[in-house]
Amino acid sequence: MPEKLYQYSIAVDTNECLAIEVDTSLPERRVVGVLERLAELRGLPRSVTVDKGSEFTGKALDVWAYGRGLQLHFIQAGKPQQNAYIESFNGKFRDECLNEHWFISMRHARQVIEESRQEYNGERPHSSLGYLTPKQFAQSFLTADVVSISD
């Protein structure tokens, strides 16, 4: 696959990865679309923590969040530890999925990445969650208070 692959991950404080969006570019309107879809499925949190990538700092996301009473919390540039969970997740995701596969098409990349996300959520217990999977742990909560996303 000759094109550069971009991805961002959306995870909640239950360690569940709700979405991994993959494409050759990910403009801010795509972020809004994914968050809107997740809001319909899970409801909205009180806040979303994001880095300062262009897909998160534009007007579309700001207007969308403001219209829903959602606070955007931006981590400081060069301070990924302020969003440590998603940074840790992204590192594991790179090591265990992206670096392990040679994607032959965008369709193939999306399929493999979605399978990896499903495995992470439903088949891998986490010691930090009392050895439950993120999906099992999340089922004990009705809504999340904090969502973290990063590119």
Q: Distance between CA atoms of 74 and 21, rounded to whole angstroms?
A: 20
With pLDDT > 90 as the criterion, what percentage of the chain qualifies?
A: 54
What would the pLDDT profile of 12-28 be if each residue is shown by its tens digit? 777 899 999 999 999 99
Instruction: State the pTM of this model.
Output: 0.84
CA 119 to chain CA centroid, nearest Å: 15
Q: Could you give phi then psi for residue 5, rounded to 5 degrees? A: -100, 130
**Mean pLDDT of the residues in the chain:** 87
How do the domains of the chain map onto residue ranges?
A: 6-150
For 6-150, CATH number? 3.30.420.10
Q: What is the pLDDT of residues 34-46, one digit of tens each?
A: 999 999 988 888 8
